[in-house]
Structure 1
Amino acid sequence: MQIEDHILPRLDPEFLEYFIALQVRLRASQQQPAATNTIIEHVRAHPEAYQPPCALDTSSYPGVADSQYQSHDGSIIRVRVYHPDPAKHGSGPYPAHLNFHGGGFVLGDLKTEGSLCLNMRKAGVVVVDVNYRLCPETTWGKCMQDARGALEWLRNSATTLNVNADSISIGGISAGSHICLVLQHMARDAGIPLKLCMASVTPATDALSYTYYTESPFPSFHEFSRGPVLPWERIKYFGRLCMPPEQLRSLREMWPDWWFAPLRAPNWNNLCDTFIRTGELDPLRDEGEAYSMKLVAGGNKVTVKRYLGCPHTFMYIDSMKRKQEYDQDAIAALRAAHGLV
């Protein structure tokens, strides 16, 4: 994959080094780039080939335990619970943070953001990573119900998990941030208080249903449609699996319109504090920042940070200093939101 001339000089040098090395490995192994034209059966048979570089199996780490809850339709959803070190953060009860991983609503599991969850618990919070259901095996939109179920389960299990039910935050990356933005509105409507919504590289329109990228009203979507990490072809790959054209009408009849595009949410009042993080060279940059402006117009508190030189999901690349900055920003935001400073 070549990087276009208008993008190349703006890329973070550490990302460029990583990207070149990745292309060399792919060519040497004659592999396809992750999730562009690969049949989903192959992806499911070889999940390790589609994990990001930050993926980590943390199931045997101290203070980490798996659990599960029942979603609204009776499906069992697995979660991985990360407790902070009591020697550093006391005996609890602790604040809690729900995490929803990225992956275009198609990829991801409890390993995908394992290293990021380990980092976030350094804030002194319990991190609950949610293994919400994926497309195409599950109808798109069920993930939103899984998210609502996770929040209710966490509150109902506060004593068992040693968490403070009145100090909960939510967050996610990419598709996971779409989920947490929807959950932010659902929680407000249900009268469930949240301390923070921490959304990163945020999709806030229904790009998965576009026929072509030119349908987007956002300049960044056009400027970086052939950029690294999340080119238009990859977005369409996810779209074909999540919202096939022949199913799109029935999906739109099944779910609220704003679930497809949180920017179209009907009520922007009294939402929890929000931390929006975008990458300068991400096609989704402008819609994430547009979401933040909607929050401001609704009278809500929002912090926005754009990471210069960074493409989509840069926070998955351990070799980048920007990724380390991202991790420290997450810890600082969680500590401030939960009153741990």
Structure 2
Amino acid sequence: MVKIIIIFLLIFITYSQSQEINTLFNCTFDSGPVDDCTFQRILSPADSLDIDIGQSLTADSIGSPDRPLSDATSVFSPTMEGEMCQFPYYLNGWDMYFCLYQESIQNYTCPTNLGNQTCIRGQYAYKTTSDPNGFAEIYKSVTTITINSTDEDQCLSFYYYFTNSFREPSISFRMSATLNTSNSQNIVIVKPSNANKWYYNQTTFRVTPDEYSFMIDFYRAEDLNDTTNFTFAIDNISIINGPCSYVFNDSITTDGLIFTEPTTISSTTTLSDISTTTRKCKKIVFINNIGIFIFTKSVLAKNLALALGLSLGLGIPALVTIIVIAVYVVKFVL
């Protein structure tokens, strides 16, 4: 039965590889404001998005942070030792969903099944405001995106963060033609959820052929009695040719540990979902940053849909690599 499932999986992956996927836009912010990660404020081109590795907490901190303590890659990727972080963990009276900076070792760590381990370090972009009159700013990518086809979908994926839900904050993503300014299309608008953590969104969209700038709008309503710090943050933005159902997260930008159901156009995945999934695995093998989940026989038999979803959500390595892994699993692991 297990061998039949693996053969079916290989056939499905081979079919999926026939779908041509090209990356149109890719930004992790890890190298700073370069290439696709260069954004300028519309009303003041000299102003750009702030970029940072994260924020440190003081020892006596009793509240959740007002911006991410670490970037999305550090949270959703295996540690330097290959284990998954166990989120949330309890810290000073609140649930923590970030890697924590440790002054003693001058690095970011998180708890795992094998104790505290070192997180992969990256950067993210953000804007912090305390203006009681509200906040409404638009940032435009310096690099342009050329769309040539009239009947082809694109997939936008990204991570996002809000300090809280006070004053109706939102982040909008849209495409605006560089020459025909009236040709502008909203892709998706995201709003806060309850937890103070990174969230993931994946949205399929289609625009007419043209040359576009990628636009990000930050909005927060006014409240003259509120002057507390509030942060919008974004990370690992990717636009790929093809609908999101065909995107199997083949890079660190569209992290392999996060995926949506093929029928879902826009969705959010939580850390607890991922932690539960990884605990059901016998092991995770990483080849060239691509994770291959290896399930026990009992889990594979009872959770076929989950196994297929994870395996397809973790990238498309070369077919020969898939075959080698399948043979290894059947002969030596299961």
Same fold (TM over 0.5): no
Structure with larger RCO (C-alpha < 8 A, sep 6+): 2
TM-score, structure 1 length as denominator? 0.25
More strand, by proportion? 2
TM-score, structure 2 length as denominator? 0.26
Structure number, greater radius of gyration: 2
More helix, by proportion? 1
